[in-house]
A = this chain, B = another copy of it.
Amino acid sequence: MQKQLLLSGLLATASLCAFGQDEKIDQQMMQKIREEGLQRSKVMETAFYLTDVNGPRLQGPGFMKAANWTKNKLAEWGLQNARLESWGEWGKGWEVERCYIAMTAPYYKAMIAVPRAWSGSTNKLQQAEILYISDSDTTALESYRSKLKNKVILIDQSFTGKPSFKADADRFTDEDLAKMAAESPAGGGRGGRNGADSTYRNMIQAMRTRNSFNQKMRKLAKQEGALGILNTTQTSKDGTLFVSGDYANAALGSTQDDLADLSISMEDYMTLCRLMKANVPVKLELDVKTKFHTADTKGYNVLADLPGTDPKLKDEVVMLGAHLDSWHAATGATDNAAGSAVMMEAVRILKALGVKPRRTIRLALWSGEEQGLHGSKNYVTKHLVDANNKLTKEGENLAGYFNVDNGTGKIRGIYSQNNTEAEPVFAQWLKPFHDLGATTVARRSSGGTDHVSFDRAGLSGFGFIQDRIEYDTRTHHTNMDTYDHLQPDDLKQAATIVAAFIYNAAMRDQKLPMKAPVTAMQSAR
């Protein structure tokens, strides 16, 4: 019977309630939240400022500009104590000031290119020849030492174009959701970003395989005065680049040798490889200018509160968050202006409705997520756990953390992160939103983003199930992660449901159930 219910895409709320208790849900408030969130939404206006107006929000000045705008906007909306809080030392900030590369022989072709983060510069427009490296064995590297000066390095690849017979975008079907709801953590669901999608995993794998050789090549190239090095990935298609960066160069002690480290489209890259293999003389011109910033080398989170009003509960804090930082090839629209705008919109909705939460509601917009969850990790260690990994008083008062960071897709449910006692609670909280497509509680531990910082410390941190849309195929860490790839109706729905969850968590008589400690959970299996 459970399976039948699951197959319909709905969780068996009634039977699960046998394990928990009936949730008191303020249906009138749920209706008000829907109206504010779906009919008077400001989520796209917020997203516009975070993307088009602000630009990339890479750790450093791009992030800081957005953080300040966000802090001011939250204060304008009436949140209390909107603030930037340093989470510690980060390193150098970095920005692109010019990026141009073209093939000039055998004919002219401007390329689609983005410098990898913390890349150096060419200092001016330079004419250059290619040094084509077909070796992949690091022992062969020394033989190139004398040939590197003023060259642009091209490492042989054998990628091939494949037309897209599968759509870039999709949504979870009822069957997908039922399958997810039926999983036990042992049966799969180790999480990750939409773990079912192989594109992301393949990309990571390909990057790792190349990394050792490329890192050594890059080091040698810098030493010997090469002008630049070109990169691409097999996942690059149709001029869409997957770009991240070498953040070892952000370290305060690192020296910036001027090597332009450029991602270019697979199509341009493979044209160069084929021409070099066929011994066709190729010439390039390039002008790459980047800027390192050291005025403020600390990292910051944005925090703002809706203070609790119940004397007995107001020290307890319900948190919601998303990382505000992004990679830099575009404006980080789906990763993660989407999540940031949704979380800001959720607190705006509650504030607009004049909600008086019993517990304190705290919004956190993290930074340094892309380089290793720095903002959220440091928040947890600074506030919620002590040096022995025991919960502090503040940690004991955390009444749940909710995160959005899976792109622009609407919410289809929530991952319980193996918190089985929270599942019947969430199932009831979702009920008023079944008609908006949010139906499913999955036991899976989702990963790869900031709720993991809470989860790892034994705190209740949750991520939502979101429709994938084009996340893994087109926008995630790419030059196409722009405002035009956001889905307004999806973001409105997501903000509405998050607002409802936060409201419920703040008003509930008890704190959300904590997850059983890992050891107890494991012995229970």
The reply to whether the CB of A469 lies closer than 8 angstroms to some CB of chain B is: yes
Asked if B480 and A267 sit within 8 Å, CB to CB, the answer is: yes
Asked if A102 and B98 sit within 8 Å, CB to CB, the answer is: yes
The reply to whether the CB of A144 lies closer than 8 angstroms to some CB of chain B is: no
Give bound CA distance, A55 to B165, whole Å: 27
Asked if B163 and A55 sit within 8 Å, CB to CB, the answer is: no
Q: Which residues of B contact A109 (CB under 8 A)?
A: 55
Give bound CA distance, A112 to B95, whole Å: 19
Q: Which residues of B contact A102 (CB under 8 A)?
A: 98-100
Instruction: Contacts A107-B62, A479-B239 given; indicate if A278 touches B48 (C-beta within 8 A).
Output: yes
- Which residues of chain A from 205 to 253 have a CB within 8 Å of any chain B CB? 238-240
Shortest A334–chain B CB gap in Å is 10
Asked if B485 and A107 sit within 8 Å, CB to CB, the answer is: no
Instruction: Contacts A266-B484, A271-B483 given; indicate if A280 touches B167 (C-beta within 8 A).
Output: no
Instruction: Contacts A163-B169, A474-B238 given; indicate if A482 touches B271 (C-beta within 8 A).
Output: yes
CB < 8 Å: which of B53, B100, B107 contacts A55? B107
Give bound CA distance, A266 to B239, whole Å: 14
The reply to whether the CB of A423 lies closer than 8 angstroms to some CB of chain B is: no
Give bound CA distance, A274 to B55, whole Å: 13
Asked if A169 and B165 sit within 8 Å, CB to CB, the answer is: yes
Asked if B164 and A168 sit within 8 Å, CB to CB, the answer is: yes
Q: Which residues of B contact A487 (CB under 8 A)?
A: 163
Q: Size band of the A side of the interface?
A: 35 or more
Give bound CA distance, A480 to B161, whole Å: 11
Give bound CA distance, A163 to B55, whole Å: 21
The reply to whether the CB of A12 lies closer than 8 angstroms to some CB of chain B is: no
Shortest A51–chain B CB gap in Å is 8
Q: Which residues of B contact A239 (CB under 8 A)?
A: 112, 238-240, 479-480
Instruction: Contacts A56-B107, A238-B239 given; indicate if A165 touches B160 (C-beta within 8 A).
Output: no
Shortest A280–chain B CB gap in Å is 6
Asked if B278 and A53 sit within 8 Å, CB to CB, the answer is: yes
Asked if B48 and A274 sit within 8 Å, CB to CB, the answer is: yes
Q: Which residues of B contact A160 (CB under 8 A)?
A: 484
Instruction: Contacts A99-B102, A239-B239 given; indicate if A166 touches B167 (C-beta within 8 A).
Output: yes
Asked if A108 and B112 sit within 8 Å, CB to CB, the answer is: no
Shortest A466–chain B CB gap in Å is 13
Asked if B106 and A110 sit within 8 Å, CB to CB, the answer is: no
Shortest A326–chain B CB gap in Å is 12
A470-502, CB under 8 A of B: which get 1 and which 0? 100010000110111111000000000000000
The reply to whether the CB of A86 lies closer than 8 angstroms to some CB of chain B is: no
CB < 8 Å: which of B164, B168, B280, B331 contacts A53? B280
Give bound CA distance, A338 to B239, whole Å: 20
Q: Which residues of B contact A482 (CB under 8 A)?
A: 161, 267, 271
Q: Which residues of B contact A127 (CB under 8 A)?
A: none
Give bound CA distance, A482 to B482, whole Å: 24
Q: Which residues of B contact A238 (CB under 8 A)?
A: 168, 238-240, 474, 480
Asked if B106 and A53 sit within 8 Å, CB to CB, the answer is: yes
The 10 closest A-B pairs by CB, nearest first: A161-B484, A55-B107, A163-B169, A164-B168, A267-B482, A239-B239, A99-B110, A167-B167, A100-B100, A165-B169
Q: List 29 A-B contacts (CB under 8 A).
A: A52-B274, A52-B275, A55-B107, A62-B107, A95-B108, A96-B108, A98-B102, A99-B110, A100-B100, A110-B114, A161-B484, A163-B474, A163-B485, A164-B167, A165-B167, A165-B169, A165-B170, A166-B167, A168-B238, A238-B238, A238-B240, A238-B474, A239-B239, A239-B240, A239-B479, A267-B484, A271-B483, A271-B484, A274-B483
Q: Given A55-B108, A62-B107, A239-B479, list of 10 further CB < 8 A pairs?
A: A52-B275, A55-B107, A96-B110, A161-B485, A163-B470, A238-B238, A238-B480, A266-B484, A267-B483, A274-B483
